Structure formats: structure tokens, C-alpha cells
């Protein structure tokens, strides 16, 4: 793969043979982020589990202490008695059948998080084929299907993110923007890694955290020593 001059220059700042500690890795990522926009910093963690087995799934949600740096648009699908609570919590869109039909008929997707209540899942379930592939389907484990819809909205707005394994047993998640600085990114990193480690399945054998790396949107990845998470 050919890279541009900026990427090549940034990559020279990274020692590919080294496993960095977290603070140094994040400082390096910030130095290598030279794009004209505020790049997102992502965490990539490869786990020693097999996502093909139900008892080795790793999935959950965590509120990042410093948020993600992104404005989150929340759609709340709920019945009339929950609408005021949803609006008060800051939902951008609130409704029921009208939004379900809008998504079905118009393929409307102008939201980042969908939260709903258990009594509306029968209706939201119809949207599985549309929302599922986009990672927008609400789920009780992620806290997006709950009777306390107001709290779910507040957490989403505050920077709650969902983490889950992909088919290659890797978790990819944003932990903030380059402009946050190493300290705030470090706090978000610790919160997310703490949740992932805590979510270790009982069926997982051997080394749980196989590898760990951070990278900015346009920059090279920086590998972190996974031994502290074992």
C-alpha cells in the first residue's frame, strides 16, 4: 500500500519494533496527527477469544470520562408517556410509529444512537435488517433498551460508546480527539480498557489481550505493551 508524504513522515516518528506504555503511545499519536482537521483517536484491541462461540462474546458499553468529542444525535423511540422525559434528557428526535416508518420507507439515518423502551422493541425489531448492519440496533447490554430512557439519552450525549468484537476478534473504538491532549485521552483509554478487561468471558483461555494499538484518523498506529492488561 502506498502512503502520502505526510503519513510517511509521521511514520518515521514511530518505532515499529517497540511496545509503548500508554502515555507515551498517546503522546506519539498526537505528534503524528498532522491533518488539517481534528483527528479522532481510535483504540484497536485484539483479544484471545473466538467470536464464533456465544460464550466468548465480548460486548458492552462504557461512558468515556471526557466524551468522544463528537456531537451525538439521539433518536428516542418510545410511547407518549415517555416522550417528555426523552425530550428533557436532550433527545434530538422523539416519536414512535412515525420514525419507524420513516426509517423503513425513506431509509432515514440522521442519528447516531437509537434508544428505546422494552415495550417498543416489538416495533423496533422490524428495523433489524436496516439498523443491524450499521451497528444502530438498540440492545439491553449496551443500555439502549431500558425503561429509564432519560438516563440512556443523557449517557449517550455524555459520550457513552459501545464496544464489541468483530469477526477477527478485534475491538475498534474511538477514545476522543487529538485536541483532547494525552491526559484526557489517557483517562478515556483507561475507562475503555478497564471495561474490556472486566468483560473477559469465563470461557476465554490463554492470554486475553493479545495486542493493543492506538492511531489517529490519518496517522500510523502505535503499539501498546499489552502485558499490563494480562
DSSP states of 122-157: HHHGGGHHHHGGGT----GGGT-B-S-HHHHHHHHH
Residue 45 vs residues 132, 213, 230: alpha-carbon distances, Å: 22, 7, 13
Q: Taking a C-beta distance cutoff of 8 angstroms, is the pair 137, 131 a contact? A: yes
- At residue 1, the pLDDT reads 64
User: What number is the average pLDDT over the span 164-193?
Assistant: 96
Q: For the chain, give the mean pLDDT.
A: 93
- At residue 135, the pLDDT reads 86
Residue 161 vs residues 27, 72, 172: alpha-carbon distances, Å: 23, 10, 11
- Residue 149 — very low, low, confident or very high, per pLDDT cuts 50/70/90? very high
User: What number is the average pLDDT over the span 32-42?
Assistant: 94
Exposed e or buried b per residue across 33-54, where buried means at least 16 C-beta atoms within 10 angstroms of its C-beta: beeeeebbbbbbbbbbbebeee
User: What number is the average pLDDT over the span 148-154?
Assistant: 96
- Residue 142 — very low, low, confident or very high, per pLDDT cuts 50/70/90? confident
- At residue 141, the pLDDT reads 84
- At residue 229, the pLDDT reads 82
Position 51 pLDDT exceeds 80: yes
The share of the chain scoring above pLDDT 70, in percent, equals 99
Position 210 pLDDT exceeds 70: yes
What pTM does this model have?
0.84
- At residue 121, the pLDDT reads 95
- Residue 183 — very low, low, confident or very high, per pLDDT cuts 50/70/90? very high
- Residue 8 — very low, low, confident or very high, per pLDDT cuts 50/70/90? confident
- Residue 33 — very low, low, confident or very high, per pLDDT cuts 50/70/90? very high
- At residue 6, the pLDDT reads 86
Amino acid at each position: 500500500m502506498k502512503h502520502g508524504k505526510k503519513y510517511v513522515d509521521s511514520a518515521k516518528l514511530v518505532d515499529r519494533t517497540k511496545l509503548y506504555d500508554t502515555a507515551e503511545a498517546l503522546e506519539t499519536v498526537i505528534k503524528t496527527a498532522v491533518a488539517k482537521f481534528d483527528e479522532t483517536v481510535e483504540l484497536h484491541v485484539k483479544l484471545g477469544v473466538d467470536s464464533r462461540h456465544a460464550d466468548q462474546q465480548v460486548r458492552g458499553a462504557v461512558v468515556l470520562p471526557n466524551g468522544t468529542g463528537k456531537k451525538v444525535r439521539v433518536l428516542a423511540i418510545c410511547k407518549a408517556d415517555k416522550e417528555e422525559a426523552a425530550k428533557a434528557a436532550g433527545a434530538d428526535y422523539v416519536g414512535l410509529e412515525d420514525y419507524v416508518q420513516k426509517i423503513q420507507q425513506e431509509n432515514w439515518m440522521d442519528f447516531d444512537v437509537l434508544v428505546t423502551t422494552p415495550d417498543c422493541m416489538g416495533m423496533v425489531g422490524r428495523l433489524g435488517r436496516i439498523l443491524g448492519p450499521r451497528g444502530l440496533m438498540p440492545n439491553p447490554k449496551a443500555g439502549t433498551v431500558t425503561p429509564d430512557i432519560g438516563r440512556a439519552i443523557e449517557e449517550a450525549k455524555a459520550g457513552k460508546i459501545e464496544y464489541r468484537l468483530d469477526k477477527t476478534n478485534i475491538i475498534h473504538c474511538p477514545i476522543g480527539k487529538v485536541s483532547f491532549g494525552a491526559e484526557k485521552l489517557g483517562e478515556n483509554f483507561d475507562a475503555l480498557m478497564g471495561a474490556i478487561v472486566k468483560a473477559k468471558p469465563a470461557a476465554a483461555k490463554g492470554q486475553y489481550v493479545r495486542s493493543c494499538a492506538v492511531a489517529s484518523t490519518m496517522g500510523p498506529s502505535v503499539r501498546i505493551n499489552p502485558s499490563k492488561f494480562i
